[in-house]
Structure 1
Amino acid sequence: MDKKFEPLFEKVILPNKVELRNKFVLAPLTHVSSNDDGTISDVEIDYIEQRSKDVGLAISAASNVTDLGKAFPGQPSVAHDSNLDGLKRLAEAMKKNGATAIVQIHHGGAKAMPYLTPNGDVVAPSPITLQGDKQHTPSFEKEEHHAREITQEEIEHTIKAFGEATRRVIEAGFDGVEIHGANHYLIHQFVSPYFNRRDDEWGENRLKFPMKVVDEVVNTVKAHADEDFIVGYRFSPEEAETPGITMEITEELVKNLIEKPLDFLHVSLMDIHSKTREGKYQGEERIKLLHQWIDGRMPLIGIGSIFTAEDALEAVESRDVDLIALGREMLLDHNFINKIQNGKADEIISEFDPDREDKHDLPPNLWEQFNKGLYPLPRTDGK
C-alpha cells in the first residue's frame, strides 16, 4: 500500500469503546432486492457480503420498522419477529470478514409508497401531497400521492416500533443500529417546518419526535443488549423546501443529539464538500460546521461523491470527518478498499459501465436502476 493512504486504515474507537478496524463505512444503500414481504433474499446476502468484507463499519439498507413505513420496492423489514431468520443470515454475511455490522432502522412517513403499504395508507406529521418523481431520488413512484396527518396514538406506536425493531436487530446478532433521521423520511419530516405544521406538542417542539425515538432505542438497548451495542443517528443538514430545515435548525438538532448516549452521527450529503445554502452560515462547508458543533463528543461519518482513493484521503486529512462512508462508489467497485490496501488504487472502477459483463456485481434490480440513470454518478457512456 502507498504509505500516504495509511491514515484511511487507522482504527477508530467509538464512545462505547467498540473498535473499528479502519475509517471506511459501507453506506446504507437502497438495493431494492429483498423479498416482497420484506424478508431477506439470497441475492441480497451475496451483495451485502461482497460490500461489507473490507469496511470497518457496515450499515444495511434502510429497513422499515412498520408496514406503514415501507418506502421502496424490495425494502428489507424489521417490523415483525418473522423477519428474524433472514436478519440472522444478513448479520452473519455482513460480519463474516470482520466488519462491525449494523441495521439502519427507518420509516418512510410521507415518502412511503401507497402501493407498498396496507390499504395504500400513508402518514406524515401534517397532511401533504407529494409528486413522486419530483420529490424522491431515486423515484419509485411517478404518480401523485397524499399523506394524511399521523395521529397521536400512531406517533406513540411508531416510537415503540423503533424500539421493537432494535430488539429484533439485537436478537439477530447485529452490532448496532443507525436511526434514519435523514433524506425526507418520517423522523426528518418531524424536524422540518415544511413537513411538520402541527400546532400540538409535536409541532411546537419539532425535535421532540426524534429525541423520543432516540430515547426509545437507547432504552431498548439497555434492556436487551450489552454495553458494546452501537447506536448512531443519520441526518440531513439542509433541505431545499421553503420553509425547510436550515443549518441553524441542524445546529440545534446536533447539540441535542450530542447530549444523548450515541456512538456516532452520520450526515447525508451528495457532496462531502457542499456548502450551506443560506442563512448566517451561507457559503460555509456543512461538514466543517457539523464537526465543530459535535466538538469531539462522538465520531462524524461523512459521505458524498467519494469515487477515488484520493477523494477519501482528502476528506480524512481535512480533519472534518472521522469516518468515510462509501455509497455509490462501493456499488461500482466492491474491491475499492482492497485495491488501496494492495497498491492498486489506480485500478479502482469509478464509472458506471452499462456494457460490463459482470454488471459491477450488482443485484439485477439495482443494476437496472443504475442503467436507467436513477442515481447520479459518473458513466462511461456520458449519459
Structure 2
Amino acid sequence: MKSKYASLFETATWRSGLELKNKIVMAPMTNFSSNEDGTVTDAEIAYYARRSKGVSAVITACTYVTPNGKGFEGEFAADRDEMIPSLARLASAIKAEGAKAILQIFHGGRQAPPHLVDGDVVSASSVPAEAEGSPVPRELSATEVEEIVAAFGETTRRAVEAGFDGVEIHGANGYLIQQFFSPHSNRREDRWGERLAFPLAVVDAVKQAAAKADHPFAVGYRFSPEEPETPGITMADTLELIDALKEKELDYLHVSLMEFWSEPRRGVDDTRTRLEIIKERAGDAVPVIGVGSIYTADDAVKALGTGVDLIAIGRGLIIEPDWVQKVESGQEESISVKLDKEAQEQLVVPDPLWKAIIHTPGWFPGV
C-alpha cells in the first residue's frame, strides 16, 4: 500500500468495544432481492459475502421492525422471531469474510408503498409526502407509537440473537423516524409532537436491548441533514439532533448524503460542507461516518482529511467489490469507477438490484 493511503487502514474501537480493522465500511443499500416471506435469498448472501472481505464493517440494507413498516419490494424482515434464522444466515455470511455485521433497522412510515402494508400507510401525522401521487397517511395513535418504539427494541434483540455485531437506527431518507423529527410531517399536539421525542425513545429502546448482548454490540444512528420541503429539517435542526444524540453514548453517527462535499441549503451561516459542520458539532463525543460519491482511493483520503472518523462506500463497492483489497495491495489504479454493464455475474449483484441500477440513469457512473 502507498503511504498516502495509510490513514484508511488505521484501526478503530467503538464505545461498545467493537474493533474495526480499517476506516472503510460498506454503506447500506436496498437490494430488492429477498424472498416473498421476508427471508434472505442465496443471491443476497452471495452479494454481501462478495463485498465483506476488505471492509471493516458491512451495514446491511434496512429491515422493517413491524409489518406496516415495510418500505420496499424484496425487503428482508426482522419483525418477528421466525426471522432470526434468516438474519443469522446473513450475519454469519458477512462475518465469515472478516467484516463486522451491522443490521440497519427502520420503519417506512408514509413512504411505505400501500400494497405492501395492506393499504394502511401510517406516519406521525396525516400529511402526505410532497411527491406526486403520495398517499395520505393515517396518524398513528399514541399507543401505536409506543408499540413501534418497543418494536425497534425487539428487532435489536433479534439482531443480537442472530449474531450481528450491531444495529444502525435508520433515521434518514424520509422514513418514519425522520417523519417524527420533521416539521413537515409531524404536526402532532401530544407528547410525540415534540420532534425529538420519538427518535430519542427509539434510541433508548435499542440501547436497552443492545445492553443485554454478551458480546460487543454497536448502536449507530443515520440521519439526513436537511429536507427540501418548507417547513422541513434545516441544518440548525440537525445540529440540535446531534446535541441530543451526543448524550446517548452511541457508537457512531452516519450522515446520509449522495455527495460527500455537499453544502448546507439553509439553517446555518457557514460555507463549509455539511459533513465538516456535523463533525465539528459531534466533536469527540461520537464518531461520524461520512459518505457520498466516494469512488477512488484519493476520494477516500481527501474525505477522511475533513476530520470524519470513517468512510462509507456504497455504489463504489457494487462497481468494485475488491476496492479495499486493491488499495491495500497497491493496485488502486485498477479500481473500476464506472459500472461495467456486462459484468453482473462477475460482480455478484442480484437480478432485482441490477435491474434497478440499469433502469435508473444517473444513479451509477457508467449507466
Q: Name the TM tier (shorter chain).
A: over 0.9
CA contact (8 A) 1:218 1:261 kept: no
- Following superposition, the deviation at residue 202 of structure 1 comes to 1.1
The equivalent position to 1:155 in structure 2, one of 136, 140, 145, is 145
Query: Following superposition of structure 1 onto structure 2, how do residues 255-334 of structure 1 map, counting pairs within 5 Å?
Result: 255-319=243-307, 321-334=308-321
Contact 1:277 1:283 in 2 (8 A): no
Structure 1 partner of 2:223: 235
Q: Does 1:179 find its partner at 2:169?
A: yes
Q: Report how far residue 18 of structure 1 moved.
A: 2.0
User: Once the 2 structures are TM-superposed, how far is the Cα of residue 373 of structure 1 from its aligned partner?
Assistant: 1.4
1:369–1:375: 8 Å Cα contact kept in structure 2?
Answer: no
**TM-score, normalization: structure 2?**
0.97
**Which residue number in structure 1 is paired with residue 208 of structure 2?**
219
SS at match of 1:358: helix
Alpha-carbon contact 1:77-1:83 (below 8 Å) kept: yes
* 1:1-383 matches, cutoff 5 A: 1-117=1-117, 119-130=118-129, 134=131, 143-203=133-193, 205-222=194-211, 224-226=212-214, 228-319=216-307, 321-356=308-343, 358=345, 360-373=347-360, 376-379=363-366
**Structure 2: which amino acid aligns with 1:129?**
P
Listed one character per residue, the Cα deviations across residues 316-370 of structure 1 (whole Å, up to 9, x for unaligned) are 1222x10000011111111111111111111111112323363632111111011
- In the alignment of these two chains, the number of paired residues is 367
Runs (5+) with no aligned partner, structure 2: none
- Structure 2 CA distance, aligned partners of 1:355 and 1:215? 46
Contact 1:64/1:78 (8 A) holds in 2: yes
Looking at structure 2, the residues matched to 233 and 221 of structure 1 have their Cα atoms a distance apart, in angstroms, of: 14
TM-score normalized by the length of structure 1: 0.93
Change in 2 beyond 3 A, CA 1:357/1:107: closer
Cα distance change, pair 170–375 in 1 and its aligned pair in 2 (3 A): farther
Give secondary structure in 1 for the equivalent of 2:170. Answer: strand
Distance in 2 (CA, whole Å) between partners of 1:45 and 1:358 is: 14
**Distance in structure 1 (CA, Å) of the matches to 2:156 and 2:114:** 25
Sequence identity percentage: 46
Cα contact 1:65–1:79 (8 A) shared by 2: yes
Deviations 1:12-63 (A, max 9, x none): 1112232200000111110111111211111110001111221111111100
CA contact (8 A) 1:58 1:99 kept: yes
The alpha-carbon deviation at position 144 of structure 1 amounts to: 3.7
Letter in 2 for 1:252: E
- CA 193–214 in structure 1, closer or farther in 2 if over 3 Å, else same: same
Q: CA RMSD in A?
A: 1.5
Ranges in structure 1 where 5+ consecutive residues have no aligned partner = 136-142
Structure 1 segments of 4 or more deviating over 3 A?
A: 355-360
Contact 1:247–1:281, Cα closer than 8 Å, also in 2: no
Match of 1:139 in 2: none
Note the C-alpha offset of 1:375: 6.0
Change (3 A) 1:262 1:35: same
Give the Cα separation in 1 of the matches to 2:239 and 2:102. 26
Query: Would the aligned equivalents of 2:91 and 2:162 in 1 still touch at CA under 8 Å?
Result: yes
* Shift in alpha-carbon separation, 1:376–1:330, aligned structure 2, 3 A: same
Q: Describe the superposition over 1:148-169 as per-residue Cα deviations: whole angstroms up to 9, x where unpaired.
A: 1111111011000000000000
Asked whether the 8 Å contact 1:16–1:227 carries over to 2, the reply is: no
- After superposition, what is the alpha-carbon deviation per residue over 1:199-253, rounded to whole angstroms, capped at 9, x for unaligned? 22111x100000000001111122x313621111101111111110011110110
Q: Which amino acid aligns with 2:203?
A: V
- Matched to 2:159, the amino acid is V
Query: How far is the alpha carbon of 1:309 from its aligned partner?
Result: 1.0
Task: Give the secondary-structure state (helix, strand or coil) at the position aligned to 2:355.
Answer: helix
